[in-house]
Amino acid sequence: MQITNTGGLAAEFICDFSCDSQVLPIPTQKLYLAQNNSTTTLQIPVETEKTENASYHCQLTLKNNIGDILDTYNLNFSTSAFQVD
């Protein structure tokens, strides 16, 4: 997910994740961006409890530093295999 600060001041953003119960918890991410179109790419590893084929849903919510919702993104994904470390 790519996030851009279009404002004239440096800003802090918060990204919260709300996922299906079988998706392992994803910690809230804090982002600090410089002013005038500063951009960052957020890459979050997502893990599930189940190892069989299944479909999942997460909602990502981008907020400013006082908690106002700026944007949301719905992520739907499926698993078909698992990796053993």
**Between 16 and 47, the higher pLDDT residue:** 16
pLDDT, tens digit, 9 for 90 and up, residues 11-44: 889 999 999 988 999 999 998 888 888 888 888 8
Q: Is the pTM of this model over 0.95?
A: no
Fold of 2-79: Immunoglobulin-like (2.60.40)
Closest Cα partner for 10 from 41, 29, 31? 31
With 90 as the cut, is the pLDDT of residue 57 above it?
yes
φ, ψ of residue 12 in degrees (nearest 5): -105, 135
Average pLDDT of the residues in 63-67: 90
Rounded Cα gap, residues 53 and 73, in angstroms: 23
3 strand-pairing partners: 40
For the chain, what are the domain ranges? 2-79
pLDDT of residue 27: 92
Contacts of residues 79-82 at CB distance under 8 Å and 24 or more positions apart, as own/partner, are 79/48, 79/50, 79/51, 79/52, 79/53, 79/54, 80/53, 82/51
